[in-house]
Amino acid sequence: MPAATNPAVQTAHDHLARNAAVYRKELFDFLRIPSISAQPDHKKDVRAAAEWTRDRCIRAGLKAEVVDSAGHPAVIAEGPQKPGRPTALFYGHHDVQPSGDLSLWHTGPFDPIERDGMVIARGAADDKGQTLCAIAAVEAWMKTAGSLPLNLKMLIEGEEEIGSPNLAPLVEKYRDRLACDFVLIHDTSQFAEEAPALTVGTRGLVYMEVVLTGPEKDLHSGVYGGQIANPANVLADLIATLHTPDGRVNIPKFYDRVAPLSPVERASLASLPYDRATFLKDTGSPAEDGEAGFSTFERRWYRPTLDVNGIYGGYMAAGSSTIIPSRAGAKISMRLVPDQRADEIEKLFVETIKQRCPSTVKMEMISHAHCDPYMADPNSPVMNAAIEALAIGFGKSPVLIRSGGTLPILPMFKRILGADSIMLGYCLPTCNAHSPNEFFHTRDFDAGMRTTAAFFGLLDRIG
Amino acid sequence: MPAATNPAVQTAHDHLARNAAVYRKELFDFLRIPSISAQPDHKKDVRAAAEWTRDRCIRAGLKAEVVDSAGHPAVIAEGPQKPGRPTALFYGHHDVQPSGDLSLWHTGPFDPIERDGMVIARGAADDKGQTLCAIAAVEAWMKTAGSLPLNLKMLIEGEEEIGSPNLAPLVEKYRDRLACDFVLIHDTSQFAEEAPALTVGTRGLVYMEVVLTGPEKDLHSGVYGGQIANPANVLADLIATLHTPDGRVNIPKFYDRVAPLSPVERASLASLPYDRATFLKDTGSPAEDGEAGFSTFERRWYRPTLDVNGIYGGYMAAGSSTIIPSRAGAKISMRLVPDQRADEIEKLFVETIKQRCPSTVKMEMISHAHCDPYMADPNSPVMNAAIEALAIGFGKSPVLIRSGGTLPILPMFKRILGADSIMLGYCLPTCNAHSPNEFFHTRDFDAGMRTTAAFFGLLDRIG
């Protein structure tokens, strides 16, 4: 384990160690609030979670207030001014996913317990536990050094689990107050058990629906079969053109902006263990498949994809019906990687479909989602501080990974605040974040608090 | 109008002309019975229609009885024995389609009226009106000549509109009693107004469902997109392989048994008027499409086809969901033409899909339907008699057409009784057979009775 070179970090860590039981208890208090943002009857609970967060930030030594949005309230907090030091905006959320099927929970989702080294409750990891890591780290610095080694702002929202519909307007509104050099997020995960990770990028998304209409109504396939275009057949033909036999997306210029892997990420990738049997068991799929020449992790993180998410048309119930469908449609999404641009890819997709769709059917397209990929500089001083902080907090050098998914808040922060995001995730990828029996290992909770406290101290060197 | 060469035919026609009002009234009586076979609360009405039919056959001079099946009853009737003469089995049905949306009917579906030269009611054409043409023709011969110029048997079932589930067992059971040289059916239509037609063949059907399973459950398309096979994409790829760019079915050996068009059918085809604008208006399709090098009628009647009748998989509701579907499936049917064989085509389809489906997904196939195409000899003496009879009855030479649809009873009669079917249809193809405001032109009802009576007389020459 690398030593904390800044003695103030060690002092803050000592505070955290002495107060481990207190923070555990406070996590339990936070978890007892059923702040389910998706369910209107929990509106008051979401506000209660905001108020609990505000009060906890104030006790940690910050100025904090609940700020209203068009939906659930957020909390904005600020530490003491430190002129000349870097400014971080911590982002987290105090709302949680619904419980889901209660019969699958071994304990009540809002009755947290500690068992087998885990805190088990809805929100234990996502994101109450990880948010509390940051607040505890702040408190450790404030109680021991009397101040923070950085300018810290916190934005802890209450609508993450419903897609953050009011976050961008809120960030716009408080743009000056939230101005920062970078955003710090504890809402991702480690790579695996005992494998802390920094998530340095996420994939973008373009989600389209293609709807084809042939005859005006379903027709008898005996009377009209073979005489007019069948929109379901045409749709299949169109979809089939969207990949080459080697699994590449067959849209002209699609790969033009795909950035090569940086040496630091390539090295990290080489160090990752991959177990084919586990992957197949996790997916329940008969085989791996995808773009030829790339490994599963490369396909997940570094390569763009195109998938049919849904397809429909004609007679879909049990049994048979002899019709030529009037309509058939497909929901088709593309995951994008740096430096692809969502607007450009959507345009290429639309042009390609228009060009390939025969005039024997009518064609419409609907755009459902649209988000740029996100990539932080894996070689920046702040990123290096985060790497070092994870090594200190977890006692293991982290790996650099990406997420195959899409986080619209990252390009949003970049667009409005001009700031990159550092994603330090402390829970496990298997922590049941949106499933029954969500958990957070207590050792990871403790390591997370230490990591954030160390990260603050390492920024001191940068400022 | 060709003269009826047999003077007995003219005498029978005179009877029909004298009694036109009587048969019109009797058709009304028949139509007032709501014999909807699909609806259990009309069970008694279907039996009542069978009894009405039996009584009407007896009054016409036949022996007749209601025979029970596992479902609705049928009627079997027989004329006097005529040794050495050809034996015909007339097939018709006394059940009708449901009314459908009553608000779309201009008059009550079971309150027949005559308006603008049409009898309007459910069953007016399909098949009560056309069945009554045969019974009236029988009566005209019996009342004028005192006997029939052929051995006539009638089988008038009560389950045609629900797919004749008990007809084959009934024909098996009464195989000896129903033995015949050919089957006579009045359940098709003219080609168009003023264009009487003989339907000499129907297409067969093989209806399969292909179901592909990739991952065991729907997966997050960000986390797993591009790393496993997506069954919806694989399905589209598979379907796309099933046609060549020129619209031919791309299954090896698929066309091997397709019989060339006979000269007599080719001549008839050349005589048919085709109006592109009407076809596009009827289908509501932007364009004609299909196998290159063939006209719309050729594509409908003489060429086999392959169509997706339904396709499904993944997220099919409104909006978007970012999943890799676990399953995707397609209902795919092929219409077959002589001399293709349903069992062979199903085998070729299954082999082709098995061979082309990658091992990255699991594949299952379900067989939904299976029926051989049917083709009568368009040059047989009986067919020539039917052609001549239509020319006498309608005053116009008929065209030889086929049906693009599938009639399982035709191969069934061929299989059990060894008999070909003669399809003499008197109503219009636009008669709203399964729609509101079904009608039968009174002039066609009269022409139909004359045609059947003439046909009986022309068989006298053959016997």
The tally of domains found in chain A comes to 2
In-domain check, residue A286: no
Q: Which two tokens stand for residue B98?
A: 């449901």
pLDDT tens readout for residues B198-207: 999 999 999 9
Residue A35 Ramachandran class (φ > 0 left, ψ -120 to 50 alpha, else beta)? beta
Which ranges in B320-378 belong to alpha helices (H)? Answer: 342-356
- Indicate if A31 and A98 belong to the same structural domain: yes
Domain boundary among A341, A371, A401: A371
Q: Which of these three, B346, B371, B396, is where a domain ends?
A: B371
- Reference A206, options A337, A345, A366, A352; nearest CA is A345
Are residues B348 and B402 located together in one domain of the fold? no
Given this model, what pLDDT does residue B6 score?
82
How confident is the model over B264-312, as pLDDT tens digits? 999 989 999 999 999 999 899 999 999 999 999 999 999 999 999 999 9
Cβ pair B131, B147 in contact under 8 A: no
B30-41: pLDDT as tens digits = 999 999 999 999
What tokens does A132 get? 């509390």
Q: Shortest CB distance from B227 goes to which of A224, A238, A288?
A: A288
B366 shares a domain with B227: yes
Residue A308 within a domain = yes
Same-domain pairing of B87 and B174: yes
Together in a domain, B357 and B427: no
- Is residue A280 one of the residues assigned to a domain? no
The answer to whether residue A203 neighbours chain B at the CB level (below 8 Å) is yes
CATH number of the domain encompassing residue A123: 3.40.630.10
Is there a contact between B322 and A207 if contact means CB atoms under 8 Å apart?
Answer: yes
The burial class, CB within 10 Å (0-12 / 13-18 / 19+), for B122 is buried
Residue A291 lies in a domain: no
Do residue A230 and residue B308 have CB atoms under 8 angstroms apart?
Answer: yes
Domain residues for the domain of A439 are 7-202+373-462
Which of B202, B308, B435 best probes binding to A when mutated, by most A CB atoms within 10 angstroms?
B308
Minimal CA separation from B276 to chain A, in Å: 11
Q: Exposure pattern of B11-38 as b/e (b: 16+ CB <10 Å)?
A: bbbebbeebeeebbebbbebbbbbbbbe
Query: CB of B209 within 8 Å of any CB in chain A?
Result: yes
Taking an 8 Å cut-off on Cβ atoms, the answer to whether A314 and B308 are in contact is: yes
Q: What pLDDT digit, counting tens, does each position of A78-130 carry?
A: 999 999 999 999 999 999 999 988 999 999 999 999 999 999 999 999 999 99
Spatial separation of the C-alpha atoms in residues B342 and A143, rounded to whole Å:
84
Structural domain contains residue B170:
yes
Q: What is the mean pLDDT of residues B20-30?
A: 98
User: Closest Cα of chain A to B301: distance in Å?
Assistant: 9
Chain A hits for B337, CB-CB cut-off 8 Å, are none
> Does B340 share its domain with B446?
no
Q: Which amino acid, residue A67?
A: V
Per-residue pLDDT for A462 more than 80?
A: no
Separation of alpha carbons A460 and A384, rounded Å: 13
* B81 and B20 together in one domain: yes
pLDDT of residue B143: 97
pLDDT at A321: 87
Q: Residue with structure tokens 């169509």?
A: B307
Q: Is there a single domain that holds both residue A34 and residue A178? A: yes
Residue B273 lies in a domain: no
Give the residue ranges of DSSP H helices in A174-286.
Answer: 221-224, 231-240, 263-271, 276-283
Say whether both A348 and A394 belong to one domain.
Answer: no
Q: Is residue A311 domain-shared with residue A415, that is, in the same domain?
A: no
SS3 string, A76-111, reads EEECCCCCCCCEEEEEEECCECCCCCHHHCCCCCCC
Do B359 and B379 have their domain in common?
Answer: no
For A400-424, b where at least 16 C-beta lie within 10 A, e where not — what string? bbbbbbbbbbbbbbbebbebbbbbb
Closest chain A residue by Cα to residue B223: A404
d(CA A142, CA A79): 9
CB atoms within 10 A of CB B339: 12
Beta-carbon contacts of B13 under 8 Å, excluding residues fewer than 6 positions away, are B4, B140, B450, B453, B454
| pLDDT value for B14 | 97
Residue A11 belongs to a domain: yes
Chain B (419-448) residues lying within 8 Å, Cβ to Cβ, of chain A: none
* CA dihedral angle for residue B67, residue B69, residue B71, residue B75, rounded to 10 degrees: -30
Q: What CATH number does the domain containing A236 carry?
A: 3.30.70.360
Question: A187 and A143 in one domain?
Answer: yes
Domain-located, residue B288: no
Q: What pLDDT shows up at residue B60?
A: 98
Query: Would you put residue A100 in left (φ > 0), alpha (ψ -120 to 50) or beta?
Result: left
Residues of B in contact with A367 (CB under 8 A): none
The pair of structure tokens assigned to B103 is 């608000």
Last residue of a domain, one of A313, A338, A371: A371
Q: Which two tokens stand for residue B330?
A: 């397609």
Q: Is B115 exposed, middle or buried (0-12, 13-18, 19+ CB in 10 A)?
A: exposed
Owner of token pair 């743009």: A175
Cβ–Cβ under 8 Å, residues A198 and A383? yes
Q: In the prediction, which pLDDT does A5 show?
A: 66
In degrees and rounded to multiples of 5, residue B217 shows phi and psi of -135, 170
Whose structure tokens read 């177990």?
A275
Q: Which residues of B131-168 are buried (b: 16+ CB within 10 A; e: fewer)?
A: bbbbbbbbbbbbebbeebbbbbbbbbbbbbbbebebbe
For the stretch B119-168, pLDDT in tens is: 999 999 999 999 999 999 999 999 999 999 999 999 999 999 988 999 99
> Within 13 Å and on the Cβ side, how many CA atoms surround B396?
17
- Residue B431, classed as helix, strand or coil, is coil
On chain B, the residues whose CB falls within 8 A of the CB of A299 are: 226-227
Q: Give the nearest partner residue to A309 out of B311, B314, B330, using CB atoms.
A: B314
Q: Which of B352, B364, B323, B330 has the alpha carbon at shortest distance from B228?
A: B323
Instruction: Tally C-beta pairs within 8 A across A and B.
Output: 295
Per-residue pLDDT tens over the stretch B85-104:
999 999 999 999 999 889 99
**C-alpha to C-alpha distance for B165 and B249, rounded to whole angstroms:** 31
